[in-house]
Amino acid sequence: MGRALAVLLAWGLLVFAPFSWVQAAVYVYVDTEGTAHFTDAPTKTYFRPLPAFGLPQGVNLTSGQYADLINAIATQNGVDPALVKAIIRAESGFDQRAVSRKGAQGLMQLMPQTADRYAVGDAFDPADNIRGGVRYLRFLQDLFPGQLHLAVAAYNAGENAVLRYGGIPPYAETREYVTRVFRFYGQPDAVVTAAPIPAARPPQPARATRAEPVPSTPSVYRQVGPDGTPHYTNLPPLVRSPQPPAR
């Protein structure tokens, strides 16, 4: 099943499913051949919730365990709780056991090196995970002040990629990710501009080098006259050849 068919199937499920069922979380997994697998009872950690079908059971973005943790930790670090909720929704769909193919873990999908960087003891513990993710997000907002779209892009692609391209990296995944986060954040009309892919420079032909003479520093000569006055010149003093003894 191709990607386009998988999307059509997802929309079909959304349109024709009974309202009470739509409120339950639906999970999807796309295998290496591009086939999408849907379930409402995931048995593997690589199944991801489909945000359009609601959040996992027990998740409440207004109050409750996740909301209280997010509100408290985000406020402590000066980050908008609504932005944290948008990122968690885009990253894991509020599945605290989520694991990506690249190894990102937990609610905010922390890579092991990021978890170590922010002293996250258990990436699957909601409080530890949110604390590490929010601290990283705070770092990115300080790194790109007033440019929230770059901070969000860096959360997905890494700050080095954003710095290298001077904007949102021209990765389809990152562009789609930024758009999705801003939609969940309540700013669906935010303009997402990706940095252009730098054009490859054609190889330049090697130039033939010509040896150039290196100018030498002129010599300066000093002579002292009979009255003791020094004289300086760039001409060497005349040296008389010794005269043969008279016979």
* Residue of 165, 189, 167 lying closest to 179 (CA atoms): 189
Structural contact between residues 56 and 25, judged by C-beta atoms closer than 8 angstroms:
yes
**Which candidate in 91, 159, 176, 212 is catalytic?**
91
Contact in structure between 22 and 54 (CB atoms under 8 Å): yes
Q: Can you tell me the distance from the alpha carbon of 39 to that of 26, in angstroms, rounded to the nearest whole number?
A: 6
Spell out the long-range contacts of 106-112 with Cβ–Cβ below 8 A and sequence spacing 24 or more: 107/66, 107/133, 108/84, 108/132, 108/133, 108/134, 109/133, 110/136
Q: Is 91 annotated in the active site?
A: yes
Strand arrangement, sheet containing 27-30: 36-39, 27-30, 48-49
Torsion sign, CA atoms 67, 69, 73, 76: positive
Q: How far is CA 97 from CA 12, 29, 207, in A?
A: 28, 15, 59
Question: What residues act catalytically?
Answer: 91
